[in-house]
Structure 1
Amino acid sequence: MQFFDRSGGVMNLQIKQRINKLQDAIDRWLSPGNDHLREAIDRSVKEGFFSFPDIKYQIQALKKSIKRGELIRWAEQANHTEWISEKKKVLCLHAGNLPLVGVQDILAVALSGHHYIGKISRKDPYLPQTLLNSLKNDGLISGRWSVELPDLKGERADALLFSGSVHSVDDLLEKLSELDIADNKTPQLMRTAHFSIACIEDNSSETMHHLADAVFRYGGKGCRSVAMVVAPFSLNSSKCEFTDYVESFWLKNPQHEKPSGSLYYRYAYNKAAGIEQAWLDDFLIEETEHEPTEPFILHWVQGDRNKAAELANKYRQRLQTVYVTDPSAKIENAPVEPELMRDAQNPPIWWKPDGQDPLKWLIELK
């Protein structure tokens, strides 16, 4: 069987074989019989890094998204039809806000054929290493990784993949330079988006169910998590109903991390200022158009698709995407293409964080 890229080129046999081998390795890694992954899950839960429901959800999402056909599609979209002629050292600085949030970057390096160097987050120290060990044992990744950045001193990366806060970039590059790992001249793919917007147009059971999952999964800590919703109705008219969906979600998925006491002070301020809101003890929903900058807050805005486009453009520097409920819906003049809200927390393996395909970026490295 031959595989063709989008421009009609035939995919290199070596790439096809690598995809097949990568899929086999992923299947073994995600299998119920993988004791190393099971132990990493147990440690992550016992040591308080993540809740079991959140890890289980992520594992199930990866099982659905990492399929041979999806890996082929990813390679096609990235125009990965020829094997790279020169291996580069790629440093991946992994975030730890969600369990296994760095899987896409790891697979991008493995699929590209480059050499991997990894800084594993202290907030997710065990889970990613089970994948890396599996890929290394199968000859799909070569390199080093550590939870401690000084352990990678002198590696001298040729490229850098980073996901995190834009405010930490300068300090990070300074530290990398001190350790002779990378500097300002090192090619960098920085993903710094912080939140997403949902544009809903009804309050059906399906819509409210997907909205609750998009907002409250992982405590709202992901860049794909909804921090602002635009709806044709006010918060006051729907907060009792929506709260029922939230409580139902929390019964099955208790919120792992609790907010600081400052969240209650914000609630008290809103109450004094006459701002419509819903206090959920560990989360606050408020009817404001303020830029989402604080965790555990959902901003509710009454409006339509035009309003969603206006807000998306206003906050585009920190925006990941805009979600809709109708596959045919268009958000005219929005800075990003809309995605379906039902896929907010389980994107395809080939999705583009901040509009950038990490695999395409890696295979085009010079």
Structure 2
Amino acid sequence: MLQSEIKSSFVELGNFLRQFSLEKNTKDVSVLQNDLFYVDFISLVELSQSHNGWFTPEQVYFSVQSWAKALTETNLNQWLSPYDFSKTTPEKIGLVLAGNIPLVGFHDFLSVLISGHDVLVKTSSNDQHLLKFLAKYLISIQPELNSKITFVEGKLEGFDAVIATGSNNTARYFEFYFKDKPSIIRKNRNSVAVLDGTESHEDLVGLGEDIFRYFGLGCRNVSKLFVPKDYNFDAFFKAMYEYREVIQYEKYANNYDYNKAVFLMSNFQLLDNEFLTIKEDSSYASPISSVFYEFYENIDEIKNRLNTDAEQIQCVVSNNLIENSVSFGQTQQPRLWDYADNVDTLAFLSKI
């Protein structure tokens, strides 16, 4: 298949996804194959929480809209412009996907296909349905994709290279199991925010989006704050109040109650607003419903720290305090060329 044909299919998928949002689903008669897929996709989104309790309609629609914005011809052309896949010999690329947030593995799926390779997909048990539905839509637009997309139920076999995402523990297994094949192995990462006390209320509300989107389950969710010595958290908590309804979700509320109780029984000092606890801690990975923080005296020490710990960090949020940092409220809307773990997936695929 020509790359232009594959790219066109993903552009059509973007048009399809653009019809759906939490506020209102609006059917566009110009979208291809709508009669076959439109109603079924709405039903799938409504059922997603029964498949995974964290996949509320709000969170699934957010992911859908993010991909709808990304899958435009302009974005795809800009992303692909540095690469030449015209002489690609299709290889079978295995994907072992995570399931922490809706469609978390879609970027890898897109990367493999648009680079001209065939994809063998092993989905997470926590996210088995959304990607398969979108694959069916793509195949309906471009039937030749049917021979290039395979979903694997059992053991992943017969691949020429692999991209696997998991925890630090599973990464050790992946590194052993896939040691004889070209691979990208992704481990646990967390995101941080660096504040200096000059942030506006709007900045901090945006930070709340970075903390609470997907209930904090993503590697791009902020789980750690670096704040100047004697930082006053009043403005932070005032901004976080915008997200108070998160406690209405039972799974989140259960985590909040449990983690708060564990902290209190351990005699840790907490700041708490009845739906989020913050705790002074040197770790990057905080539990659901909690954010860790550390004080700093000099911004250069934070720059050095983040550079040293780069392999533990997915992204950094700040008002340009840190080079290449992400703006407040934008961590969960990466561009196509914002690669997980800063590993260029297309460059990897171009060398297979």
Q: 1:360, CA displacement in angstroms? A: 2.0
Q: 1:296, CA displacement in angstroms? A: 3.4
Q: 1:282, CA displacement in angstroms? A: 4.9
TM-score of the aligned structures, taking structure 2 as reference length: 0.83
Q: 1:293, CA displacement in angstroms? A: 5.3
**Cα separation, 2, equivalents of 1:95 and 1:101:** 7
Aligned residue among 261, 272, 281 for 1:288: 281
CA contact (8 A) 1:194 1:222 kept: no
Q: 1:295, CA displacement in angstroms? A: 3.8
Q: 1:284, CA displacement in angstroms? A: 2.1
- 1:204 is aligned with what amino acid? S
SS of the residue aligned with 2:293? strand
SS of the residue aligned with 1:124? coil
Aligned residue among 101, 105, 109 for 1:106: 109
Q: For residues 290 and 314 of structure 1, do their structure 2 counterparts lie closer, same or farther at Cα, with a shift above 3 Å needed?
A: farther
What RMSD in Å do the two structures reach over aligned CA positions?
2.6
**Cα separation, 2, equivalents of 1:168 and 1:260:** 26
Aligned residue among 164, 185, 189 for 2:180: 185
Quote the residue 2:222 is aligned against.
226
Aligned residue among 237, 244, 268 for 2:238: 244
**Which structure 2 segments of 5+ residues have no match?**
21-26, 28-37
1:146-157 correspondence runs (5 A)? 146=152, 148-150=153-155, 152=156, 155-157=157-159
Aligned residue among 45, 70, 87 for 2:90: 87
1:141-290 correspondence runs (5 A)? 142-146=148-152, 148-150=153-155, 152=156, 155-172=157-174, 183-201=178-196, 202-232=198-228, 234=230, 237-239=232-234, 241-251=235-245, 254-255=248-249, 256-257=251-252, 258-259=254-255, 262-269=258-265, 272=267, 275=269, 277-290=270-283
SS of the residue aligned with 2:64? helix
Q: For residues 35 and 282 of structure 1, do their structure 2 counterparts lie closer, same or farther at Cα, with a shift above 3 Å needed?
A: same
TM-score of the aligned structures, taking structure 1 as reference length: 0.80
Q: Which runs of structure 1 show a deviation greater than 6 angstroms over 4 or more consecutive aligned residues? A: none
Q: 1:281, CA displacement in angstroms? A: 4.6
Q: 1:14, CA displacement in angstroms? A: 4.1
Q: For residues 245 and 226 of structure 1, do their structure 2 counterparts lie closer, same or farther at Cα, with a shift above 3 Å needed?
A: same
SS of the residue aligned with 1:347? coil
Q: For residues 262 and 313 of structure 1, do their structure 2 counterparts lie closer, same or farther at Cα, with a shift above 3 Å needed?
A: farther
Identity %: 20
1:306-325 correspondence runs (5 A)? 306-325=300-319
**Cα separation, 2, equivalents of 1:233 and 1:38:** 49
Matched, 1:355 2:307: no
1:128-143 correspondence runs (5 A)? 128-137=131-140, 138=142, 139-140=144-145, 142-143=148-149
Aligned residues: 328
SS of the residue aligned with 2:233? helix
| 1:53-90 deviation per Cα after TM superposition (whole angstroms, max 9, x unaligned) | 111221222222222111111112xx322424311101
Q: 1:199, CA displacement in angstroms? A: 1.2
CA contact (8 A) 1:53 1:253 kept: no
- 1:70 is aligned with what amino acid? N
**Which structure 1 segments of 5+ residues have no match?**
1-12, 178-182, 332-336
